Amino acid sequence: MDCEYSILIVGAAILVVPATQDQTAYDDLVNSLLFAQLVANKQMEKDQSTPWYDCYMQFLDDFWPRDIKGREDWRIDADSHESFVDWIVPTISKASPAAGQAIDRVLTRLVNVPATHPAINLLRTQMKKVSGAQVMPVPAPAENVHLLVLMAQSPTTFASVFVELKTHQALSLNPLAQLYSGEDIQGPVTLRYARANLSQVSYGFVRDEVALKVKERIAENVATFDMNDEPGLTEEKQP
């Protein structure tokens, strides 16, 4: 299948970029996304009550200021069966109308990718962190699940959606294919959308430092997916 997009999984983020451009042109964005997530994850280890997205954006806002941003809280009906795709596609269109169709196409493709693919496996492990508690209460408490989706039409601008929900459900092997009813979710599904642009001057002061900090973390936190692969035939690549 010929496709004009490349997909990178960066931690708990799905980053979609034009296939016509060299992926190294997006190093600033990949490094920023990974560093911001690592900072947020570390803060969450110290204080579980800290909003993950706020910690993540605290770094990005200094170097990728947002000119569009918004928040929506969706209540899911008890008899509904909805997925991340159902929430993300209409929401990212509010940050960039042109992004909706592209993201719909990409996510529909990823829904059918086997869980054995390294990119899907990475995404699943990052979307929901395993509790560090040695003894879990019974019944187990609802836990947060989150996902970022970004469309970057150029190396210096992106539209994004952050989705977070609290659920007792275990993540399916391919979490993008998982369906939720209102009974599965505690509280609303929270969506945060934004459009941001790189501040070349500000980021120029920290570019080398950020790249150095994430250098040893890239291999275990970044994976790629080829949109030309046949979903049913995709196998895990051996090192």
- Give domain limits for the chain: 5-129+155-227
Q: What is the pTM of this model?
A: 0.91
Which tens digit of pLDDT belongs to each residue from 2-50? 468 999 999 999 999 999 888 899 999 999 999 999 999 999 888 888 8
Q: What's residue 128's pLDDT?
A: 85
| Cis-peptide into 139, omega within 30 deg | yes
Pairing of strands 13-18, 143-154: parallel
Task: Point out the least confidently predicted range of 19-28, 91-100, 126-135, 171-180.
Answer: 126-135
Q: How confident is residue 139, by pLDDT bands cut at 50, 70 and 90?
A: low
For helices 27-46 and 207-214, give the axis angle rounded to 10 degrees.
Answer: 60
Has residue 214 got a pLDDT over 60? yes
DSSP 3: -
Residues of the chain above pLDDT 70, percent: 89
Residue 150: is it exposed, middle or buried by C-beta count within 10 angstroms (0-12/13-18/19+)? buried
Query: Do residues 144 and 168 make contact, with C-beta atoms less than 8 angstroms apart?
Result: no
Instruction: Name the more confident of 237 and 106.
Output: 106
Say what the pLDDT of residue 227 is.
72
Buried b (16+ CB within 10 A) or exposed e, 37-62: bbbbbebbeeeeeeebbebbbebbbe
